[in-house]
Amino acid sequence: MTTFLQDQPLTRLDGRPDRLGAHLGQVLLIVNVASACGLTPQYAGLQALHAARHPAGLQILAFPSNDFGGQEPGAPDEIAAFCSREYGVAFPLFEKTPVTGPARHPLFTALATALPRAQGGEGLRETLRRHGIEPNAEGELLWNFEKFVVGRDGRVLARFAPDVAPDDPALLACLDAALAAPAPPFVHPQSRALLDALAQMLPPVDWATATAQTVRATFGGPSAFAPGDEVAAIEDRSIPGPGGPLRLRLYRPLGEAPAAGWPVTVFCHGGGFVMGAPEGHDNVCRCLAQRAGTLVVSVDYRLAPEARFPAAVHDAMAALQWVHAQAGSIGGDAARIAVAGDSAGGNLAAVLALQAPGAGIALRHQLLFYPVTDAGCGFASYRHFADGYLLSAPMMQWFWRQYLPHAGAGDDPLASPLRAPDLHGLAPATLVLPGLDPLGDEGRAYARRLVEAGTPVTVHEWPGQIHGFASMLGALDAAQAALNQGADALRRAFG
């Protein structure tokens, strides 16, 4: 099986941009050029039969070939090569069949337009003659393609001879099976390109036998994405922590500090509780600091499995308490503190928000990018996005096995904030959730729990985006917009 390239640019007849990826989610029956004009009994039979049999979900696409007027050069073998190269499937020539009428489907128009001009600028008819294919007396072109059935996910499921009957049992069975399959999720073209690139770069990991050292070597290197905004200063501090010295990285925004001091955001980085450091989320912290006008204090908490739960929670809480007590010493305002984090760091930020009222800290906001909220890994999104979208279900389950000292520890609300019995009185929350994420449903469930407890909540859904997208500056345009959403939420909360 081969896969069509999503987001392959095409041109519609009205000149507006169209994309082959727009057809994903439909079953396609690509018919031969003789059928394209709608004048042959075969095409009429296809339309009538399948309109009645499959009233929705089936798109019959035709590839007309005539009436190029010498403006769009190409020949069947060149078209087949182009299709194979650009779309991952070839359309071989089978028979010479008259084609009449002016119809030209936009998909075929785009293919012909994209073909390189033949040497000497000859038109299509001249190119065809050079390849031994002659127009008939009326100037109609005499060539034809096979038929293909393409599934909802863009994969070619079957191919049929050009003269296959509309009611051919094999064709009907193939279409019925294709239409019964679920539609694939929408994947943004930039996300698709990034996933394809990462698939080439990252070696496969056996999550049944992986070690923390192997995973850190594979995924835990320096960020390959664009740097964040310019800030006034970045400095490291060391404070006493529960397990020894605890490093904090401070990001100071450009501009004049308010009279009461900058608001402060305590940030916890992602990495599955197993990998990562403040340096790996430098671009996110820079953007939040500058765009929200806040000091950002990024916590270099201890990692599992060397330091299992609740070590990271204790380190994050120590950092929050230090910021609350010492805000003035770093130019911050202890009355305006927020917490933020992504993925596993979103879990720690949510846990800080749970603990803050009991510690006498009135947080202004909790900003959670695709947070981990439950150790059970049982939500539907774990099945829907189990693999193929960077963070996989086996990967997340492996992270939990490294983090928890035993399976029962996942019931602790400090590990699974979704399981907290009472969420009343917590800071207002903003959640940023990508559409292609095993963690998506547990993030939504946590948002609902907060709303039920009376907490103001804003959820930003990002269809077509993958886990971790907000840090992927330079590769995904959505990263900038998502960071803007987070920064705006912090700025409003700080007042």
**Which is the catalytic residue, given 282, 437, 441, 471?**
437
- Cis peptide, bond prior to residue 222, ω within 30 of zero: no
Q: Which residue has the tokens 């073909």?
A: 115
CA 88 to chain centre: 22
Q: Which residue has the tokens 């064709």?
A: 171
CA 192 to chain centre: 7
176 is catalytic: no
Query: Nearest Cα to 347, choosing from 405, 404, 408, 263?
Result: 404
The total of other beta-carbon atoms located within 10 Å of residue 224's CB is 11
**CA 22 vs CA 27, 54, 125, 178: distances in Å:** 12, 19, 32, 17
Task: Quote the CA–CA distance of 403 and 375 in Å, as a whole number.
Answer: 10
314 is catalytic: no
**Which is the catalytic residue, given 65, 191, 298, 343?**
343
Residue 292 backbone dihedrals phi, psi, to 5 degrees = -95, -10
Per the DSSP assignment, residues forming a β-bridge with 248 are: 237, 299
Rg of the chain, C-alpha, whole Å: 29
**Which is the catalytic residue, given 191, 229, 467, 471?**
467
Which element (helix H / strand E) includes 19? Answer: strand 17-19
Dig out the tokens for 96 from the structure: 């010479």
User: How many residues in total does the chain contain?
Assistant: 495
Q: Which residue has the tokens 């020894």?
A: 244
Per the DSSP assignment, residues forming a β-bridge with 160 are: 147
- To the nearest 10°, report the CA torsion of 248, 251, 256, 261: -30
Collect all residues with Cβ–Cβ distance below 8 Å to 169 and sequence separation of at least 6. Answer: none
Burial grade of 491 (CB within 10 A; 0-12, 13-18, 19 or more): middle
Residue type for position 119: Q
Burial grade of 94 (CB within 10 A; 0-12, 13-18, 19 or more): middle
Q: Which residue has the tokens 């996300």?
A: 191
406 is catalytic: no
In what side-by-side order are the strands of the sheet with 332-342?
Answer: 233-241, 244-252, 295-299, 262-268, 332-342, 365-369, 429-436, 457-466
Helix, coil or strand: residue 242:
coil
- To the nearest 10°, report the CA torsion of 416, 417, 421, 424: 180
In what side-by-side order are the strands of the sheet with 147-150?
Answer: 58-62, 27-31, 147-150, 156-160
Q: Which residues are catalytic?
A: 343, 437, 467
